[in-house]
Amino acid sequence: MKKIIIANWKAKLGPREAISLAKKYSFLNSKYSLVVCPDFSVIYPISELLKKTKIFFGSQDCSAFPSGAHTGEVSASSLKTLGAKYVIIGHSERRANGEGIDLILQKVQKVLAEKMIPVVCVGESAKERLQKKTMTILTKQLSQVFNKLSPEQKSQKIFVAYEPVWAVGSGQALAPEESEFICGFIKKNTNSLGASKVEVLYGGSVSANNAKEYLNQDNVSGLLIGGASLDFSVFRKIINC
């Protein structure tokens, strides 16, 4: 599999800025698979814009419910209709805003039912890292999802993004050797829970200076990038590394 780079634009761009950045992205060429995840307000125009390009698009979230009477929600099936291929689920910024494991699990299941690829985010906090609880936390977060999936769901492609909470948006990235070790651990762990097609990405303060080191690691199948994906010249450096 080609390694993958997923840009998570969060809620950082207004519609005009997002569309103008998507236009610049649309000309990119890379040895990596490229995915952009804009916010819901611009998913439709950006999906149209990227149709004839090599850039995939995804969503930063989706509803835990099917289409229907769920005011304010965006269903996985609508995203699928627009051509989304990936959906980020359980990002630490959403967990911090109260998203719990029940919703996360339902969302993963909705995404899998639409044959899209969930990008399930896991990671320990600064305090948990200090207490040397990283592996315990990851084991718990993974089992909360993977133990609840059916064998058929577990046979589908699923991405896990290892994003240490303390590294997200902080400028403090994880040492690349550690990303190799932890991504390998996640792969083995999910395998032992019966999920055979899991690929593990690293995310958290990825920059033009460190991207290559992560992408050189065998167990790191790609990157989930926030801040550095908003600056086009930085992002171009990363996808050409």
Among 118, 164, 204, 222, binds ligand PGA (CB under 6 A): 204
Asked if 64 and 110 touch (Cβ cutoff 8 Å), the reply is yes
70 tagged catalytic: no
Torsion of CA 228, 211, 155, 133, to 10 degrees: -90
Q: How far is the CB of 134 from ligand PGA (least distance, A)?
A: 17
**Can you tell me which of 45, 83, 169, 184 binds ligand PGA, judged by CB under 6 A?**
169
Question: What's the DSSP call for residue 203?
Answer: E
Q: CA 62, 187, 135, 124 torsion: positive or negative?
A: negative
- Which residue lies nearer to ligand PGA by CB, 153 or 210? 210
For position 215 contacting ligand PGA by CB under 6 A, the verdict is no
| Minimum separation from the CB atom of position 29 to ligand PGA (A) | 22
Cα separation values, 120 from 103, 108, 136, Å: 12, 8, 17
Q: Which of 206, 211, 238, 241 binds ligand PGA (CB under 6 A)?
A: 206
Distance CA 73, CA 207 (A): 33
Rank residues 19 and 208 by Cβ distance to ligand PGA and give the closer one.
Answer: 208
C-beta of 77: minimal distance to ligand PGA in Å? 25
Q: Which residues are catalytic?
A: 91, 163
